[in-house]
Structure 1
């Protein structure tokens, strides 16, 4: 049982305060409906598709900020490393759930299509409004926290088998040798909470002091 403070952190939501926020939230909730329709309670398979999408923003944002800093010879204030670390972390989430859920060839094709479409869409969004892009990622992560909390509930209720954690996950998150799926989901959820807060902070920073978007 989570403490009141932990529960509040899990349920934290940033209200949309302007048109940029409302666009970001609207896109997020639309994609949430599609995910719920397609995957229902198959949370392992849902995680695979969502994590292949989640690994895109950090790489795109890091690349575009890197190029902007080169063109204008300005400091990045640590944003590049933070975003690339986020992308790598999300990639590790994907590789972990591939081992857990073992996607079919059809689901692998869906992953390829979703990633290609999302990469192009997010690239264009970041060029046009990096603030909106970061807010959208933060809202994505809010939904990811909800999804992983529901995943844990399914495990705790015995509706999802609490299988042994993959060795790669044990090594990556420094889990006990006898760790199981439940511990992996908790670790992943903690990562998503961090990404949520960082991207909200980045969006806030861009709201306060907009930077050149396309440079």
Structure 2
């Protein structure tokens, strides 16, 4: 199958205090992930995708309530964020089939998810712009991580096992699809989330958003809609 195009060079250079806080926070978490998981990319994906599925749901919830209070239209943001959360959850369901989480990793997931949910909810209430910028930087790191995962597979250090059934169904992959094919479409999803969240942050900062630069998402069941 042909690989979805992903621009690996995209990086939003921090502008202002809000962006620098978001970038510094992301780099600190990246250091923790690299230290804890090293090159166990399958296990890294399980824990990080659990966290990655939180921001979309938090953003959708807060925007939903805000629109109800203000009796205004959301311009497509709510559906976009809910689709993002569901897409990240499907990433998790896929990698659970690839790398079975240990009991310790399950305990880590439970603790990290609660802490991150509460922290991100508070951040979104204080500064939605910073929250979306954090997610944009998270996704930049995710694209890098999945690129390194592909290298491990291509160089034979990680087995290129058959793609799980749940992944083949979700991304409409062929029967002969492998883990490498899965990582390619997951990386493309992350690139899409990267550009959408940076776009949301730019819009909240009053900047012009060029939607033509938003990476296309691979086809899957839910589809991801862009904000109008």
For this structure pair, what is the TM-score category when the shorter chain's length is used for normalisation? over 0.9
1:67 matches 2:59: no
Matches within 5 A, 1:76-95: 76-95=74-93
Q: Which residue of 1 aligns with 2:38?
A: 40
Counterpart of 1:15 in 2: which secondary structure?
coil
- Structure 2: tracts of 5 or more residues without a match: 208-228
- Which whole-Å CA distance do the structure 2 matches of 1:104 and 1:135 have between them? 32
Which of the numbers 6, 15, 18 marks the counterpart of 2:16?
A: 18
Query: In proportion to residue count, which structure has more helix?
Result: 1
Q: Secondary structure at the match of 1:178?
A: coil
CA deviations over 1:22-71 (Å, ceiling 9, x no partner): 00000000000000000000000000111000000000000000000000
**How far 1:153 sits from its partner (Å)?**
0.1
2: distance between equivalents of 1:60 and 1:146? 24
CA distance in 1, matches of 2:131, 2:90: 22
Query: What's the CA shift string for 1:83-122, capped at 9, x where partnerless?
Result: 0000000000011011110011111111111111100000
TM superposition shift of 1:11: 2.1
2:201 is aligned to 203
- Following TM superposition, the consecutive aligned residue runs of length 4 or more in structure 1 with deviations greater than 6 angstroms are none
RMSD across aligned C-alpha pairs, in angstroms? 1.4
SS of the aligned residue for 2:205 comes to helix
Q: Residues 111-190 of structure 1 correspond to what in structure 2 (within 5 A)?
A: 111-190=109-188
TM-score scaled by length of structure 1 = 0.93
Name structure 1 gaps, 5 residues minimum. 210-215
